[in-house]
Chain A
Amino acid sequence: MNAYVLIKMAPDPVEELDIANDGKSLNAEFIRFKSGDPDEHSIEQALLLKEKNGGKVTVVALDAPEVDDVLYTALAKGVDRAVKISLDQTQLGSVATAQAFASFFQKEGISSDTLIMPGTQAIDDIEGETGALLAEMLALPYIGVVSGITLTNGGAKAVVVKEFSSGLRGEYEVELPAVLGIQSAEKPPRYVPVAKIRAVMKTAKIETVDLSEPDKAKILEIERMYKPEVAGRAQILEGDVKEIAAKLAEIFAERGII
């Protein structure tokens, strides 16, 4: 198995998302970048596959704020190799990001045991689904919303679980090489102590790959970015916590719930 986990850094939605003066983008000053939850699950799933089947796990990302921390953390977790593509991801839309990854794989080469594992979806882009775009560009099979992978036929195929809805899931078989968009790993992402990450920072190296700029940074331009008008349907209960608890109990009683 030759697994590649693709990381895309996106603004952390837990932080205040402020609109920039141009009214078309986020105010960069307040953004804190982090890798998406699905990307973290993708690292975990790749490591689980390696523990079971052997092989190699490489983590690949475009340049973005905080990306080095994410790559070193992946190395500390047990990833074999970390690669940073020297293109500014924050300036690229999903199509251009996928193009950059496609160029990387054209340079790197794809073998019969290559498994490309992006997180299934990021929440920061109007196009999204970078993994699906990459698969199309590389003419590889693609399955998204994956929450389980078992390698079969000596690593030539994978049996993949895709989530549907209402707890229903589908089982698929796919020939490698393939792109699988990871939603969640079979186990929660492992924890790695900060001391171990610091140690890795001293010994391990992030490889840098230079690629030419994609033809077009963005396919579609955002005309206007804004905060949704708060419909404010919720009636906000005021008071201290005890008063709020009493009010809620009263509401439940009025509705006949208790």
Chain B
Amino acid sequence: MTTPLLIRFVAEARELLQLASSGLLALEKNPGDEAVVNNVFRSVHTLKGSSGLFEFVALTKLVHAGEDVLSAVRAGQLSLTSELVDLLLDALDRIGAWIDDIEHKGRLSDGADGVSRDMTAALRGWLPALPDASGPAQEAPRRAAAVEILDVDWLARIDEAARLEAFRACAQGHALLAIEYVPVEDCFFSGEDPVNLMRQIPALHGLLLEGTEPWPDLDTLDPYRCALRLRAISAAPQTSVEELFRYVIEQVAITPVAAHQLAVLAGEADDNPVYEDFVEEARDLSAKGDWSGLKNRTQALLNLTGSTLFAASALRWLDALLDVPAPDPSQVAVLIAAVIDGEAPPLPAPASTVVSASGRQERTAVEAGATVKSQSFPSSANPASHLSPIGREILEAQRFILESLLKPEMFPGQIGSIRRTVANVISGVMEKADCAAWSAACDASEAAGTGTAALAELNRILGSGAEVGAEVGATEIAQADASATVHDQRQAPARILKVDQAKIDTLMNLIGEMVVSKNTLPFLARRAENVHGSREMAREIKDIYAVIDRLSQEMQAAIMAVRMLPVSEVLDRFPRLVRDVARKLGKRVELVIEGEDTAADKNIVEVLSDPLLHIVRNSLDHGIETPEQREAAGKNPDSILIIRAFQEGDQVVIEVQDDGCGIDPAKIRAAAVAKGLMDAERAARLSDQEAINLVFAAGFSTAASVSDLSGRGVGMDVVVTTVEKAGGSVALNSVKGVGTTVRISLPLSMAVTRVMMVEAGGGMLFGIPMEHIAETVRIPRSRVKKIKQSESFVLRDTIVPLLRLDALLGVPQPLWFGDADQEEAVLVVKINGALTGLVVDHFREGMDIILKPFDGILSGIGGYAGTALLGDGRVLLVLNLKELV
């Protein structure tokens, strides 16, 4: 789980799944409820949409199938039966398990592609048949059905060397898979390259490339209509093959192959007396079980035999078969016979397996089949059976009954019941020959009146199942493991708690109150010392204060962290927006976003959204030129728009920087005069930066025409107002012809405000937001100069106007008796970019406060930002200097 998008997807998917399943349950009770149908459909539809963002093909396909079914239900083409609901719920559970996998491992569990294909086919099976049978909904189940009936006759057409290789791989314990891939005709247009997809099959042991139909005349051949059929043998696990074909899984059939199916003999017949000697000797050795001796003889004869001969083919297979320490005697026997018979049954298939006849040896296939039936060989170690764990348990129970419980008087009834039970379990799972063998063994047992024959056969079935099932069953086991882990993980899934913002705000307020009440402790300590004369008490209170102070600070930080969001919340939509707007305007813009994980308080991030939109639109519309203009100006036709977010002190800063035409101060001056904002003389006196800052003035727009993007004159002034309301500031920097940078600074959090307390009006306390304060100075009264009614003083060669806070607040001013040495406490503040001196009575300490804006009837009073409670219970009025001055 790396990307935040994925984390959000997981959370959202869980919610949607929950909605869908509860909706489905409601629907089962009341199938006619359209609103619920719509809800369920919408949930699944949304899930499909968002899953498409990721590489979870199996999941998306399954959700898509579910969506199609629900869509049919919604359209009234399909009624929602309990079976269908079961199927849908199963699918939802499966998806839920995958979502858990995604959360924990970042990917789907192994085998997901196969599971998805099966479930998808099952779901699509419910869809009503459309008149147009070529639709994808029809295609999928048809192809999926091919999996079961996959015919593997074509194996014989793979060259013998490859088959021998596969056979040896199988003997070493690798299960073999036959893969048949018939790409859709237009697959070249969707970028598929079927042959080179086959190239990637791991452990490939054979590949056939054929046309699906006879090739047409070269003149009528359409090179871009795929008419290929691809078949392969692989010794790789089924899951990895499915993974490889995940995009075309519905066009692929995969089936396990038993090794003996590969052993199709071919070659020229000849008659050589040597064979007879060999066969005699070989039978002898084989009867003794001297496999290595037999192998030596086989190889010796093989060297003497022409490689194209049928006998050589038989010998090669015999050689391969003898690679295993304990080969199957019946298979050995058939191969030995094949050496001398020349045209003998080429199929060393043991009794347990169905003999598949290759086209070339049709004549002998019938005989081979007959042999199999009549002889009932002891089965090979490889009957390609895969018992389910439950089936195995049932069979073992039957074996137990046969072994111990069988009483002579009850025998006829019991053997019948055992016979039926076992037959039910193995039919369909095992090869037909196995079923036949079981039935024969039961016949024998019934005739003999003892369970011995049946028991022996059952042992064989169970024993062989154990060996063979291993590889094939590995998938099942893996799945069982996976579901087990899924189950474990479900015990403690990482949950995201969605909380109403108001609750967090309440917490925030409460912690604020606590910080304030904590501040009463130092007062209390002082009181204990001064009033009650207990120093020790005072010290203890201070100790406790230190602890509570630390805890409350940590708590405050923790609650603030809850509210912190990365600015990417806002920035995420810009790539799309910039692309669309740039296209519309015919401009070429490359957007670069930096520092998107910079975090800030939720409110701040939300405040950023609209101003940023204005600024980016402005840049695209007015700042960045068309490619032609840019080329004419000698710039790269692709412009670069950078949105950069970073933290600077306790401020979060967002810069939007373009390399466009910049703002021309001369134009701004002219526009200001034309709009009557100021006279020409004053406009001429403005510095370039001041002129540029005029774009922040209300009702100012220099764009020649009003476009639908920007330029209606409600641009930058709205930006400034919004940002300032949130306690931030906007700065604009522009160089004509080079580009423009707009910089928005906002406090990281609006929750805590740092203020400096000052005393004015004869002992009243006021708070002044720290961000306005430039410095504090004390100047002698003699340095205060009066210019008409206004006072001012010189601070480092700059004339700074001087205002008295008492006067601003309407408090009577203390009298002054002309002592020129008396100093004034002057707070130098920066308001709207200009320095102003504010005369106060005394400076007091700075502190962090939780600012509470006025509400009720007080909210109309100007000049105040709000109030805060002080530690000693007094109310601190915080001034809004911009309104006041």
Q: Do A and B come from the same complex?
A: no
